[in-house]
Chain A
Amino acid sequence: MEEQIVELAAKLAVVESKANVTNSMFAEAFYYVTIPLMILIHAGFLAYEMGASRTKMC
């Protein structure tokens, strides 16, 4: 009985550790992906501004 509890406690520790890794990997990937999406805003601003400017060729 005791050995089962010790074994289960060890397994639980492994599962908890894996869950923590999953959570931190998720959080990191989540914010990482926001960055290229936000850079797209800049692609948009660039196109927007160039389109709104006049071409003046002398």
Chain B
Amino acid sequence: MLTSGVKNILAFAFVIPTFYFFGWWVYWGFPTGLTFSEGPAGISGAAYANAIAWGWGESAQYMGPNIVDQASGVFFGAFALFAATTASIMSGAVIERIQTVGFVILAVILGSFAWVVAAAWGWHADGWLVTKFGVHDFGAAGLVHAVAGFFALGVLIVLGPRIGKFNADGTANHIAGHNMPLTVTGLMLIIVGFWGFLMACVIVPGEAWSWFGDKPSTIYGTPITLSALSFNILMAIAGGIIGAWIWTKDPFWMMSGALAGIISCASGLDIYFPALAFIVAFSAGLILRPCANWLERRGIDDAVGAVTVHGTIGLYGVIMLGVFASGFPALQGAAGEAPTISFSGQIVGAVVFGLLGLVPGYISAVILNQLGMLRTPEAAEILGLDPTKVPAQGYPEGIPASLQPAE
């Protein structure tokens, strides 16, 4: 149990410096694709990234304390947290049987590379998904959540289920965690943190790269306000909770529904009207458990439903925007010239995001597995990983059993 916590925090700890060393460069260098050429807005390509994103040489002035630069560090910081969060999404799915070192390597690949490529392509004014296909994903439902969810799926396919999860006839056993109150409170904290994440998706005036000097915008330069976010995020949380509760009555799935609600609306939090956000989120809450069960019937042991909440619902959110917002501008520009959102464009984005997660996740897991660095030995898994991996005990005095039935 402490092993899970330790690996979760190590993911955060290793993604930060790796994002500093190369992840930041990937965001600025990759938007136009593998040519690394400069994009139409002039803020991408290998030359641009070389000038601002290495922590040494000429670009070091933008990568550390600098009294005349009040923007680079906080923007980097927000992105680095995005990277760490993306890597963390994989963390819950693989508990109780993944090796810590192998996991950290996977987390770095996901957090400092895979999602960053998706962001460069679909969450950057010069990104080719945006300029050529009008892909619009305001709150990173596809490029963070779907990439992470499908990366986790790629890993899970190779990693295999926990011992005891599936019976010989293929039916699944429910493996309960030891502390539902902690889990549900943790999910509520994630909802708090989401507001910071979505705040960081807004480009405010006051920096050299601000789209406007007098109003906020999305990363694409299209309109957004914190007011719009307040209306829509609240409705999305509520819709997701209610949809999931109606279907499952279960506290874990109810809180996962809150996440699913936000993720299903994230792509269009800038465009949806609050009532629509509620309905989309409600639908995501309803389909959540059925989608998770579908995956489980295929032999995938996702301990926390991460592939469903983030992967499936992330793509659902990207595609829903294509259903409801076709014709809206995807990027700031002159009418008739700026790319617009379309259903087919969102499908293209969804496919690319899914593959950017699944392919690196699967290949990396296969390689690590070949090297014997992926799965813990069976004997260790049966004993529990804490005795061998962690010098501390979670509950040295034991956990008291209750005599009264729970409220």
Contact = CB atoms under 8 A, between A and B. Distances in A.
Contact of A58 (B175, B176, B387): B387
B171 interface: no
B189 A57 contact: no
Given A46-B9, A49-B4, A54 B178 contact: yes
A24 B209 CA distance: 11
Contacts of A24: 70-71, 206-207
B223 to A, nearest CB: 17
Majority DSSP secondary structure for residues of B touching A: helix
Contact of A27 (B4, B96, B207, B399): B207
B101 interface: no
B383 A58 contact: yes
Contacts of B197: 34, 37-38, 41
Given A24-B71, A27-B210, A52-B177, A35 B193 contact: no
Contacts of A54: 1, 96, 175-178, 384
Interface residues of A, number: 36
Interface in B178-193: 178-193
Interface residues of B, number: 66
B286 interface: no
Interface in A22-55: 22-28, 30-55
Interface string B375-407: 000000001111100000111001100000000
Given A27-B204, A28-B74, A50 B81 contact: no
Contacts of A43: 186, 189, 193
Contacts of B185: 47
A54 to B, nearest CB: 5
A53 B20 CA distance: 31
A13 to B, nearest CB: 17
A44 B91 contact: no
B304 A44 contact: no
Given A54-B175, A55-B394, A48 B183 contact: yes
A50 B196 contact: no
A42 B85 contact: yes
A44 B262 CA distance: 16
A38 B85 contact: yes
B394 to A, nearest CB: 6
Contact of B200 (A31, A44, A48, A53): A31
Contact of A45 (B92, B184, B210, B399): B92
Given A34-B200, A41-B88, A48 B205 contact: no
B96 A53 contact: yes
Given A41-B190, A50-B4, A35 B92 contact: no
Contacts of A32: 74, 77
A50 B5 contact: yes
B352 to A, nearest CB: 25
Contacts of A46: 5, 8-9, 186
Residue among A38, A39, A40, A58 with max Cβ neighbours from chain B (10 Å) = A38
B126 to A, nearest CB: 21
Given A26-B204, A46-B5, A55-B384, 9 more contacts: A24-B207, A27-B204, A32-B74, A36-B196, A44-B190, A46-B8, A49-B92, A53-B95, A56-B385
16 contacts: A31-B74, A31-B78, A33-B199, A34-B196, A38-B84, A41-B189, A43-B193, A44-B187, A45-B91, A46-B9, A48-B182, A48-B190, A48-B304, A50-B182, A54-B178, A57-B395
